[in-house]
Amino acid sequence: MQKRVKEILSWYAGESPGILTNLARMLNHGTLAGTGKMVILPVDQGFEHGPGRSFAMNPAGYNPHYHFELAVEAGCNAYAAPLGFLEAAAAEHAGEVPLILKLNNHDVLLDEKDPDQAVTGGVKDALRLGCVAVGYTIYPGSTHRLDMYERLREIAAEAKAVGLAVIVWSYPRGSGLTKEGETAIDVTAYAAHIAAQLGAHVIKVKLPSAHIAQDAARKVYEKNQVPVGSLPERVRHVVQSAFDGRRIVIFSGGAKEEDQAVFDEARAIRDGGGFGSIIGRNSFQRQRSEALEFLGTIMKIYGGTMR
């Protein structure tokens, strides 16, 4: 096992051998195996945004097998999806890529100021499907956030008891925040810290802007001259907020955008000490050959073979 992977696993010394093994399976799989960096393919967008908005631009994406094949061929560290997509194709692709079962989901059929998520899968499903981890979303800023935190703790305890790693999508959202505040640096760092405190092994957040949403936080940032002017500096601060970098923090890719913008973001994540990306729409909304080239470039940036 590579020295970097051993170092990362040492940060989770209080966890069971089963959890450490499953974390190692992700860190030691695919193109970036052994580097301590990760690129995960998540495909929960059909549930979260609707199938047409997610797959019409690349109809191959309606097929659950397509995403397994893309994750395997691209050399992703893991593939994450809701129960239905995994059940539909996991048997045919057993052992080909580490799997993450997304345990809760939300639809967009009702306009909500304060979103919540329904529990759509369970730990027993994750075990049955051969997953290495479960994924769970929380919305810091929503009026439902405290209930979400409590549900996460219960599910995390159940998952850890059977050796599964816990990955938390920590997305600030709700009536407590403005749209700009959802990705503010102070709010994003807070969201990463909350996920770590709730027991996440891997934390997924959005890339932060330089905006500071909370007046009390702004005073502290300015008084202590916390460097957040550049994107690498903001990534470094978010990672620092997750137990001084002793939890794996990865950053979401968001809506599909121009290739160079995504590549520049990956460089900022790398240079700021982030652990990688979880890239969905920017990957599977492309034709397969284009997606493979795109993901290959991201991995070269993280792997250090491309500046």
* Catalytic site positions: 204
Instruction: Indicate left, alpha or beta for 278 from its phi (over 0: left) and psi (-120 to 50: alpha).
Output: beta
How many angstroms separate the CA atoms of 77 and 144, rounded? 32
Residue of 48, 47, 40 whose CA lies nearest to 79: 40
| Chain center to CA of 55 | 20
Cβ atoms of 283 and 45 closer than 8 Å: no
- Give the bridge partners for 135, in sequence order: 102, 167
Helix or strand holding residue 296 (H, E): helix 288-303
Cβ atoms of 237 and 189 closer than 8 Å: yes
Residues 6 or more apart from 73 whose CB is under 8 A from it? 288, 292
How many angstroms separate the CA atoms of 307 and 79, rounded? 26
